[in-house]
Structures are given as structure tokens and as C-alpha cells.
Amino acid sequence: MKQKLKDKLDRLEALNIIGKVSEPTEWVNAMVMVEKKDESHYPIPTFEDATEDLHGISTVSKLDVRSGYWILPLTERSSFYTTFSTVFGRYRWKRYPFGLVSAQNEFQRQMDEIFEGLEGIRILIDNILVYGKSQEEHENRLCAVLKRAREKGVRFNQEKCTFGMEQVKYSGHIISKEGIKPDPEKLNAIKKMPSPTTKEELQTLLGMLNFLSQYIPSLSSRNKTLRDLIQEVEFEWKPHHEECFSAIKQSITDNLAFFDHSSRTVDLKVDASKHGLGTEISTNGNMCGYASRALSKTEQNYSQLKKEMYTIVYRLKHFHHYIYGERRLQRMMIQTLPYDLEVIYIPGSDIPVADALSRLSLPNTDFQMQRDIKAYVHSVMKTLPVSNSKLRKIRQLTKHDKQLSTLQSVIQHGWPSI
């Protein structure tokens, strides 16, 4: 282990990633060695962002940035705060080491800037997805990414890259043209997992289920029995816990469709129970995902009406990246903002007049066009370089002119019937 450490330090120093420190420093950190088979680090990405606009893809590649944080240089002052001691002396990092609080956000920003303007890519920390709706489109986009990476000095870990595939494994999920599904290895791990015997094992189980929550309808309600067991003083796995665990495993969905942004309608079904919130979202009849959340003790005291409304608001924010920007709905909502409205649902049978009028309505009239014409005429009248007295004279003479009066009548009342 000591020789491995020395070799690693020598290599990092040769690459100008770290540097020897001989003078006194305010800070020095004890070094902790963690041996890993491939010496890589994987921060957890935001999976919803990765799949936001993948509807219709046919080919996809995954690129893994090698030692990504080392792209980011540290200032001289910041560098000395990272000084660490070894049996071979003290060193300081000249570039971002793994583990700094700000490293992940700064690296994401840097990667976005490097690959800015390229189409068909999703960047999640040190993982890049390149996709296309045809093989040719995918290859063109992939070449553009590799060219930009070469220009900016970004290197990839070849062993972890996959190119031109119909599906790729990504962050515990499988991405393909059919949609997304859980990684079979993780799915089998849950389905074959034995019943927990301690609270720690149960917490691990709940964490794995939460990772796959988008595939499990109403998870927060289904796993309440298991969550309650965590709060109990003594851990005792009973038959009803086993029944709950088995029901959850059976409810896991094998496949979800990508969200279709071209769809005219988005179905967002929500429900609130005594202990949790549940939602499912779909387009064109294809299920795109599930979401659920347990209610806090304070939230459990809400009235059912408040719970239902809270579910709507909470899930609109949760699926914001899917449903934001439906322009027609946005315009309709904007028009209601000047009014202090209270929306109340009343069945059509209880409002017979409005119900009848909606079914026996007059032929449609283009009110928007009328408003636009009036607004245009009003703007023209307001900007005419004519005095008010001259304008009154024009109106008076127009009434006595046969052709102009006829034109005025046609404009105001339409063409006469023949």
C-alpha cells in the first residue's frame, strides 16, 4: 500500500496536479487512503434531467470524463488550504481534488461552458450522453463532442465509454429508444433481497426502493408500514411487514416511456392519502413516471382538500421540467391574473342554463381578430397627424359621400345580403 501511495503521489506531482510543500502552512489535513479498483469517482446525477428530451432517439453513446475535477485549477491561496501530509512529506493540490464541497457545481458549470452550443447532449457532472433520432444525426453530434473535447483538453475514460448503442446503462437505469427501465441488476437485487433483520438493513432497503421510486406507484403509501418500523424501539419483522415488502416488489414497473414534449396533452394524476402523496404522469397514454412523498406530522393534520391541493402544487413543481411552457395554457392563466378568482367545481346538472348554452352555443366568432382590428384602428386614430377639428370635418364629409359611407357601413356591419 505504501508503494502504491508513493507511485500515486509521484504521478500526480509529475502531472502538476499536486506540489510539494516545504514552508509552514496554516492548514494541514490528515490523508485518508481509499483503494478503488478503477480509481474513479461517481457523483449521483439528476436522472430526470438526463431523460428530459430523449423521446424519439434511436442511437445513444455515453462518455465518461477521466479525472474530471483536475480540469479545474485552484488559486495559489486556495491551494494551500488543501495541504495534506504523507509519510513522504506534505503536498498541496494545484487543481480541484475530489471531495471539495464546491467542486461538483463548479465542474458542472465548466463542462456546460466547454460544450455550450452543441445539440443532442446531456451533461451530468462527469458523464455525457450523446443521442440522435437517426444513426447519422448521432454520429454527427458525437464527432462534434469529441472535436470540442480535443480542443479544450477534455479526456475520456475509454473503459467506461460506450458508442453507437441502442441502449446504455446509466446511473442504475437502462436508456433505450423504447424508454427507460431499471437496471436488471438493481431490480433483481431488490426482488431477491432477503427480509431485513435489523433497522440498518431496513434503512438500506428503503433507500433502494426510494432510488426506484419513479417505477413504483404510490410508494410513500405502500412503504409506510416499513417506515413505521424504523421508529419503533425494538425491531421485530412481522407477517404484515413481509406482506408489505412482497406487495412493493410486485408493483415495480418494468418500463417507462420517455416524456413526449410534442404531445398536446399531459395527464398528471394525483392523489393524497392520510400519510402520503402520489402522482403519475403520462403522455399519449404512455406512462412516463411515478412520484410519491410521505407527509410530515404537520402536513398529516391538513384537511383533505388542502392535501389534494398541496399534491397538485408539489407535483407541478416536481415535474416542472416536463410540463412548464405549455404556451396556450400559460396565456390563459395570464389572462386570469387581474381577477381575484375562486375556482369551484359544480356538476353540469346543477347549472342547467350554462350547461345548455355550452351545448347549444352559437357558431364561433373570431373575437381575437375583432379585438386586434379595434386595437389597430385605435392606434392609427391616436397617431394620425390631424387636429381634432380637421378630424370632425372628415367625419362629417364622409357621411355625405356615397362611396365612403357605403365603405363605412361594410366595415362596421359586413357585406349586405344579396
Which DSSP string corresponds to 105-125?
HHHHHHHHHHTTT-SSEEEET
Positions in the chain short of pLDDT 70: 1-2, 32-47, 49-50, 52, 68, 99, 101-102, 254-265, 321-334, 348, 353-388, 417-418
Q: Using an 8 Å Cβ cutoff, are 414 and 406 in contact? A: no
Residue 329 amino acid letter: L
Task: Give residue 117's pLDDT.
Answer: 85
**Residue 367: predicted pLDDT:** 56
All 3 cell numbers of residue 244? 408489505
pTM assigned to the model: 0.51
Gap between the Cα atoms of 269 and 316, Å rounded: 11
| Entry field: residues in the chain | 418
The radius of gyration of the chain's CA atoms, rounded to the nearest angstrom, is 32
| Residue 316 to residue 333: CA distance in whole angstroms | 15
Yes or no: say if 213 and 234 are a contact pair by the CB < 8 Å rule: no
For CATH 3.30.70.270, list the domain ranges present in the chain: 2-177
293 exposed, middle or buried (CB, 10 Å; 0-12, 13-18, 19+)? middle
Supply angle C-alpha 107, 111, 112, rounded to 5: 115
Q: Are 293 and 314 in contact (CB under 8 A)?
A: yes
Residue 354 exposure: Cα atoms within 13 Å on the Cβ side = 6
pLDDT digits (tens, 9 = 90+) for 126-182: 788 898 889 899 999 999 999 998 988 888 888 888 898 888 887 777 888 877 888
Report residue 84 CA to chain centroid gap.
Answer: 38
The residue type at 59:
T
Q: At what angle do helices 103-114 and 135-152 cross, to 10 degrees?
A: 110
Q: What does the pLDDT read at residue 44?
A: 41
pLDDT of residue 13: 86
Contacts of 382 (CB under 8 A, 6+ apart): none
pLDDT of residue 413: 79
Alpha carbon dihedral 96, 99, 105, 111, in 10-degree steps, equals 50
- What does the pLDDT read at residue 322? 67
Residue 357 confidence (pLDDT): 60
The counts of H helices and E strands in the chain are 18, 14
The per-residue pLDDT for 211 is 79
Which residues have CB under 8 Å from 148's CB, separation 6+?
114, 115, 118, 154
For the domain made up of 2-177, give the CATH fold. Answer: Alpha-Beta Plaits (3.30.70)
Q: In this predicted structure, what is the pLDDT of residue 264?
A: 60
Between strands 29-30 and 84-86, the pairing is: parallel
Give the pLDDT confidence score for residue 358 in this predicted structure.
Answer: 60
